[in-house]
Structure 1
């Protein structure tokens, strides 16, 4: 089996990365950063997000597993004291593949023809470069509302526990292929009105954002932040691709929610 390891970059994570790499090679596994069958993320959820985007072109061939060296992560279910156990499991045990839905974002521009496509594991946010964000929101090709406020956040089910939760969004189990739209400080008065609640859309629904008075936006895709100019529209939907996690033991989603937010 071919494997690769990504590290958060701190001394503790780097030491674990080198130790695991040595152990796995001792089991005759091949280290291959270009075409790994399994990618081990050592750090936290941010490290796994980085690994996901690095290998997003081969999601159907690569599975991910996380070791967290800090706080409990939603994607990292192993701790440093268990790396010998994890190494033996990787080398000797057939693993279960668990798939989580991803979100596709397509940004189209006013000059026509050109577009940029991204995949998000957690979320995408849209804010105006300056001033209030004003966006026409369309769902399934039908106008839904005009949003005015600080910004909008669209998230995946696995990302629903991140920024989306801080915005008052619902926590969605990742077995449900869906995307969620949450508002950031919307303006609601006698003149301007939004639904004011998070919206959860199924896999066959598309959410389209169309600029009203500006065309330059600060758009995030997970940890990546870029300014996009002359934007015509931003389209979101559940992606055809999925992320694959290698599971060597149960890692129940609701237990992670409980341990992270209630009694970890």
Structure 2
């Protein structure tokens, strides 16, 4: 069997969620690119990944290709409401195809979070997060020592703690009172989830912005079952010894096109809408 040479072509993966509209858009893009001499359609080892659906779909696609971040660039087409990771709506496919054919390899890169979970029996699990990672105790109040770069900050009591990337700052982090952080900032954010603050127990209470190069360590002080959430996936562990967070040395890269939507415009559209004159 002769191996075909696709040198010079961009390898493109088209991945859609199960909704009818997403599948329809995927079919349209596939038909437009399958005979284009500049593209080779394949989900194996792609240069460009087209995510069709919503932000949740792009999170899933990111984790599919997170081991190829040095090569792959992502682009999202939204088939619902405007999302933070999508530059195009479902009625802008023709514009997307036009810009894709004009692509010269430009990219926009955002920081990722590196997470390490150490269980009481010595097992170590590592993962990357595009949005956020959280630790919660399932049965009762979580009690945990929180340290930054080895300096103990507080003994936390409450429902849990979430740590987010700049892009993830507009997700769950914002809903529990965290700050909105521009995605080009080399930092990450820790926010408490329903902390107990009274005459006996005190925590800082506000979200904390941590710069690149520093590490947040959470050490639970009580045995029990814990839930670790990393983006759109959750895992249960018995007796977590510690959980560490720091900025990863890899970044996620998106296609830079004329239609790339600026971050503050996304924030305005998602949370504010039209501003009264």
Query: TM exceeds 0.5?
Result: yes
Displacement, 1:58? 0.3
3-state SS in 2 of match to 1:76: coil
Q: Hey, what does 1:258 align to over in structure 2? A: 268
CA deviation profile, 1:94-138 (whole Å, cap 9, x unmatched) = 2420000000000112223x3111100000111102111111101
Q: Unaligned regions of 5+ residues in structure 2, if any? A: 1-9
User: Which structure: larger Rg?
Assistant: 2
Shift of 1:176: 0.6
Find out whether 1:41 has 2:48 as its counterpart: no
Write out the 4+ residue segments of structure 1 that deviate beyond 6 Å after TM superposition.
none
Matched, 1:78 2:106: no
Of residues 95, 98, 116, the one that matches 2:108 is 98
Match of residue 200, structure 1, among 182, 204, 209: 209
List per-residue Cα deviations over 1:28-84 (Å, max 9, x = no partner).
311111201000011111010000001001011100000001010000010122212
Alpha-carbon distance in 1 for matches of 2:19, 2:166 = 29
Q: Which runs of 5+ in 1 are unaligned?
A: none
Alignment of 1:111-122 (within 5 A): 111-112=121-122, 114-122=123-131
Give the 5 Å matches for 1:8-23: 8-23=17-32
Does the 8 Å CA contact 2:84/2:266 hold for their aligned counterparts? Answer: yes
Name the structure 1 match of 2:220: 211
> What do residues 228-251 of structure 1 show as CA deviations (whole Å, max 9, x unaligned)?
223211000011110000011242
User: Are positions 1:108 and 2:118 aligned together?
Assistant: yes
Distance 1:228 1:33 in 2: 33
**Map of 1:171 onto structure 2:** 180
Superposed CA offset, 1:164-213 (max 9, x none): 00011000001111111111111111111100110110011100000101
Distance in 1 between the 2:87 and 2:257 partners? 10
TM score, norm. by length of structure 2: 0.92
Does residue 115 of structure 2 align to residue 87 of structure 1? Answer: no
**1:246 aligns to what?**
255
Q: Deviations over 1:126-161 (max 9, x none)?
A: 110211111110110111101101111110000000
RMSD: 1.2
Structure 1 distance, partners of 2:155, 2:34, is 56
Q: TM-score, length-normalised on structure 1?
A: 0.97
Which of residues 53, 61, 64 is equivalent to 1:54? Answer: 64
Whole-Å separation in 1 of the counterparts to 2:196 and 2:129: 27
